[in-house]
Structure 1
Amino acid sequence: MTSGTALLPGPEWVHPRERERGADYRAYLFGPFRVFRGDEALGQRRQRREKALLLLKWFLLNPGKPVSMDQLIELGWQDTAPEKAASGFHVGMHCLRRMLEPDLRPGQESSFIHRSGTNFYRFEADDGWWSDAGEVERLFEEARISDGHGDARRACFYYSRVAAYTVRRFLEDEESQQPWLAPYRRQYEGLCSQALIRLIQIHSARGELDEALEYAYEKLRLDPCSELAATTIIEVHLQLGRPADALRQLSVFLRSLECDLGAAAGSGLLALRERIMDTPQRV
């Protein structure tokens, strides 16, 4: 980003890194699933904590949302006999409470996991909790607000943070490729896509070619059929007087369209090819 108005809006503003490092509990859902209380990694000492961590994943993705015991059993005990499933669930829930708060006394209520009625649970994350998934949503909202106010510099800062988090695959470990996680994965992929699109558009409009190219190539890596990303790269080559490189990029993109979508070039791309053919190579 180019120099200009200072990014810091005032003394109440907290940099995203400070919010992360200052939290008592930190949960990472991009890349391998990891949770820390202070500097201690949770769930590493005993194998039976796997189910407790599964429950924690759901809670972190649905903070404050009530969920029935039957719904949670469907996540991790769907192939277990009902009596054993209920017993396994209670063991996992007990383990999770102790994992999060090892000093919890018998009969003492958890600070985070609350039970209502006989069958419903909810997870209340206080200010001591931080997760990268929650941070992505918060950063995207900050970007959207800044974008709406015409503050391109701040919008790019927040959009770029969203894109940086989502470079790593959401819950990439094998046991996390479960069907119930698919909607969350699509949600974060969508936020990343929107962030990259706005970064390409804003930097292109501001004439910041290096930044526009950076995000265009990243968008094209994630979506080889992104016309915005491909045409951005092509336009930059044209601005730099490199029509041969522009034509090569267009040819690669058209092959991707044909192979992946079975689609032919539209009128816009055909017009772009004509412009490339009419552009002299800069010596």
Structure 2
Amino acid sequence: MGGSSRSTRSVAELEREVRELRQANETLKMYFTMALELDLQSPPPAAVFEMARERAGAHAVAPQPPAPRPHGGVRWAQEDPAEAGDVPPTKVEFRVLGPIEATIGGRYVDLGATKQRAALTLLVSQVGQPVSVDVLVEALWDGQPPQSAISSLHAYIANLRRVLEPDRAPRKPAKVLRTRGRGYLLDSSVVDVDAHRFGTCATAGWQALDRCDPQRALDEFEAGLALWRGEAYAEVSDATHVSPEVVRLEELRLSVVEGRCAALIAVGAHEVAVSELAGFTQSHPLREYGCELFSLALYRAGRQADALSVLRMHQRRMAEDLGISSSPALQRLEVEILRQAPTLD
């Protein structure tokens, strides 16, 4: 009986020690997993190792923090800061004039699930500026985040870092998606965004028109419009910090459509301009510059009556819907069409 009791106690003690060892291992495993995901810049505090040793009991060997090694192995980013900027990352190109896409070296990359893509879209909308964790959580969960929201966000960021810098060595600090305080930012020096290129094309197109170079203007406008695939920042277009930029880009897009039609008229492609402006003015009936261009294109295509009809229909709409008169530019254009002014040719 006595021997049986001692055996039972020995088994129970061994089982308890095994459980404690497993708990200690899980503690360390959890820390190193978080370190890998969050790109922590310092080794784990000694308290973590001490806690694991105490929980494991006398049978456990206290683990040691990783020491610097001259070649290979895991090293913490702070150990050798001189190496941080040795190899610049390949530039990442983001496309947000439609559903978000990313390419690295001309190859598309998988940006993951819906919320992960939305987090990246929000960061792209603020390239070069930090976006706080609070803003990201608010946008991703519509103001009602679950208890796991912060952990989920950290996982999204870790996944995105691996995707955006596939060749980054372990423990090297991220250079594309960086940590800033209690938030994250995309480094503008290694990121290219189609929305920014669109703005550059728009400016170049209008400058070319001002220089009386309509063919160059047409090329710039068409290059800019070709970047659009749908609504800008589609995944988070309603987010508080993004919606003003969505509105701005849409207004700029409409002005570029009008600029392209002005360039078409200037190079003599009147019929093409007529077909483009017919649909544009129907979708945006209150845009007076579009109406002016449509009427001018019709007149130069030899359709004087249709040109006058467009102007008068617009005038009635403005009076009935808004209680205002047409702009002076449209009124002058109507008079010049009636007079068949040589300046219109």
Give the TM-score, by structure 1 length. Answer: 0.69
CA distance in 1, matches of 2:149, 2:246: 27
Residue 122 of structure 1: which of 173, 185, 188 is its match?
A: 185
Task: Give every structure 1 segment of 4 or more consecutive aligned residues whose post-TM-superposition deviation is greater than 6 Å.
Answer: 274-279
Percent of pairs identical after alignment? 22
Please report the RMSD computed on the Cα atoms of aligned residues, expressed in angstroms.
3.5
User: Does 2:314 align with 1:253?
Assistant: yes
Q: Secondary structure at the match of 1:35?
A: strand
Residue 180 of structure 1: which of 232, 237, 241 is its match?
A: 241
Residue 225 of structure 2: which of 163, 180, 187 is its match?
A: 163
Residue 238 of structure 1: which of 299, 313, 317 is its match?
A: 299
Q: CA deviation at 1:169?
A: 2.6
Q: In terms of Rg, which structure is larger?
A: 2
CA distance in 2, matches of 1:145, 1:241: 29
Q: Deviations over 1:257-279 (max 9, x none)?
A: 35653545567656666776787
Show the counterpart of 1:42: 110
Deviates more, 1:150-159 or 1:267-276: 267-276
Structure 1: gaps spanning 5 or more residues: 1-22
Q: Confirm or deny: 8 A CA contact 1:73 1:85 kept in the other structure.
A: yes
Q: CA deviation at 1:126?
A: 4.6
Opposite residue 254 of structure 2, the aligned amino acid is S
CA distance in 2, matches of 1:211, 1:51: 42
Q: Confirm or deny: 8 A CA contact 2:100 2:233 kept in the other structure.
A: yes
Q: Confirm or deny: 8 A CA contact 1:31 1:172 kept in the other structure.
A: yes
Count of residues paired in the alignment: 249
Residue 79 of structure 1: which of 139, 144, 147 is its match?
A: 144
Q: Confirm or deny: 8 A CA contact 1:217 1:229 kept in the other structure.
A: no
User: Does 2:113 align with 1:52?
Assistant: no
Opposite residue 145 of structure 2, the aligned amino acid is T
Q: CA deviation at 1:158?
A: 0.9
Structure 2: gaps spanning 5 or more residues: 1-89, 341-345
- Which one has more relative contact order, counting CA pairs under 8 Å at least 6 apart? 1
Q: CA deviation at 1:123?
A: 0.9
Opposite residue 187 of structure 2, the aligned amino acid is E
User: Does 2:136 align with 1:68?
Assistant: no
Q: CA deviation at 1:253?
A: 2.8
Deviates more, 1:206-215 or 1:230-239: 206-215
User: Does 2:216 align with 1:154?
Assistant: yes
Q: Confirm or deny: 8 A CA contact 2:237 2:246 kept in the other structure.
A: no
Q: Confirm or deny: 8 A CA contact 1:61 1:133 kept in the other structure.
A: no
Opposite residue 250 of structure 1, the aligned amino acid is L
Give the TM-score, by structure 2 length. Answer: 0.58
Q: Deviations over 1:74-121 (max 9, x none)?
A: 32243115x5333232222122212323455553322301223x4142
Show the counterpart of 1:138: 200
Opposite residue 150 of structure 2, the aligned amino acid is A
